[in-house]
Amino acid sequence: MNRRLFAATLAATACRRSRSSGKRRIRLAALPRLHMAGFYLADELGYFADEGLEIEVIKPPLAAGIYVLLSGGEADATITSISAGLINAIGQGSRARIAAGRLRLTPGCGDAGRLFGSRQAFPEGFQSLQLLRGKRIAVNSAGGPQNFYLDVFLRTAGLTRADLDVQTLGVYEAAVLLGSGRLDAMVSLGEDIALSSTRGQYVEGPVVSDLLPGFMYSYLTFGRSLLDGDLAVGRAFLRACLRGTRSYVSGTIPRFLEEFARTNQLELPALLAMCRRSFVLDGSIDLDDIQRFAAWSAAQGMSPEEYQAESLIDRRFLDA
């Protein structure tokens, strides 16, 4: 009897909730990164509400947790950089697909993929990529774009991984070790020491956007509920996301940025002045770039095979 009463109360509560908001809830798994600014702006300005959507952001402690949430159906979508984890999850049967593109490497715009070095290791500055030979260098994640960018640098310099000591370290640990001279260089995410007050303590090196201009490195990915459910929901979500991105690119500042600067101890003025031209305003997907990354991931032994880019994406949401 008690159990029935409990179930009835629960059902009534659920009905009340859906009547009170009347909105479809979308659970987005994402790390609080700078490139999320457009998304948060869309939420702050009510663009999702305009589309009849309600957003819940799930923040896993680590990027890898995103794929587990998405594959397990605990998240409906994710905004993340391309990585071996993402393409492997989809390639191995997870019901998820890349639905839209978000960010491109843009020369003269931002520090994503910039090399920073310690003053001890590069006393004369980064005069040549050849100087990387024999150095100890950190990348943030084994399967992420920073590691891919490192290979772009090495290829340009005619070096291989055997010529240097590559360590996988979190960006903050790497920054501390770089400052202490225990590390020679790191590949920046673009929102770590690049935007901190300590930037001047490091030697600024080349940025990968000059070597790989236009490379699309961040995407919006949908999970099972959006792929197999009513297409209109996914399209509405994408529409609101792109609207938020356009507002952000046109200069509107989300409250999220202040919180982001405070949490990560970054300089707010530097953050506000950051170039915003890297965002893809129409959500178009660059298949060649996905294929290039998939080929790299397979060549590095991070993927069991080279997945075909076409099999990793779903254009139905963009085509509307």
Partner 1 sequence: MRRAAQYLWLPVLVVVIWQVAASLRWIDPLFFPPPSELAPAAAASIRNGELPRHIAATLRRTFAGFVLGSGLGLLVGVAIGIRVWVGRSLSPLIAALYTTPKLGLLPMVMLFLGVTDVSRIALVALGSFLMQTMHTADAVRGIPTAYVDLARNYGAGGMALLRKVYLPATAPGVFTGLRLALGRALMITVAVELVSAPEGIGHMIWMSWQTFATRQLYLGVAAAAGLGAALHLGLRTAERHLLPWTGRR
* For partner 1, the closer CB: 93 or 200: 93
* For partner 1, the closer CB: 128 or 198: 198
- Closest approach of partner 1 to the CB of residue 299, in Å: 13
In 3D, which of 303, 196, 276, 178 has the Cα closest to residue 187? 178
- Closest approach of partner 1 to the CB of residue 135, in Å: 12
- Closest approach of partner 1 to the CB of residue 169, in Å: 6
* For partner 1, the closer CB: 181 or 269: 181
Q: Residue written as tokens 């697909």?
A: 97
- Closest approach of partner 1 to the CB of residue 186, in Å: 11
* For partner 1, the closer CB: 16 or 182: 182
- Closest approach of partner 1 to the CB of residue 143, in Å: 4
* For partner 1, the closer CB: 175 or 313: 175
Q: Which region holds residue 48: left if phi is over 0, alpha if psi is between -120 and 50, else beta? A: alpha
- Closest approach of partner 1 to the CB of residue 303, in Å: 7
Q: Residue written as tokens 């893809």?
A: 280
Angle at 81 between CA 226 and CA 88, to 5 degrees: 70
Strand, coil or helix: what is 190?
coil
* For partner 1, the closer CB: 207 or 290: 290
**Residues in contact with partner 1 by the rule CB under 8 A:** 63-64, 67-68, 71-72, 83-86, 88-89, 92-94, 136, 138, 141-144, 165-169, 173, 176-177, 180, 182-183, 297, 301-304
* For partner 1, the closer CB: 5 or 162: 162
Half-sphere exposure of 84 (CA within 13 A, CB side): 19
Strand, coil or helix: what is 169?
coil
d(CA 112, CA 93): 30
* For partner 1, the closer CB: 133 or 255: 133
Beta bridge partners of 96: 223
Distance spanning both ends of the chain, measured CA to CA: 50
- Closest approach of partner 1 to the CB of residue 60, in Å: 12
| Count of other CB atoms within 10 angstroms of residue 37 | 24
- Closest approach of partner 1 to the CB of residue 235, in Å: 27
* For partner 1, the closer CB: 140 or 218: 140
Residues present in the chain in total: 320
d(CA 93, CA 311): 11
Whether the CB-CB separation of 26 and 237 falls below 8 Å is answered with: yes
C-alpha distances out from residue 94 to 76, 226, 246, Å: 13, 13, 31
Q: Which region holds residue 170: left if phi is over 0, alpha if psi is between -120 and 50, else beta? A: beta
Q: Residue written as tokens 């960006």?
A: 171
- Closest approach of partner 1 to the CB of residue 93, in Å: 6
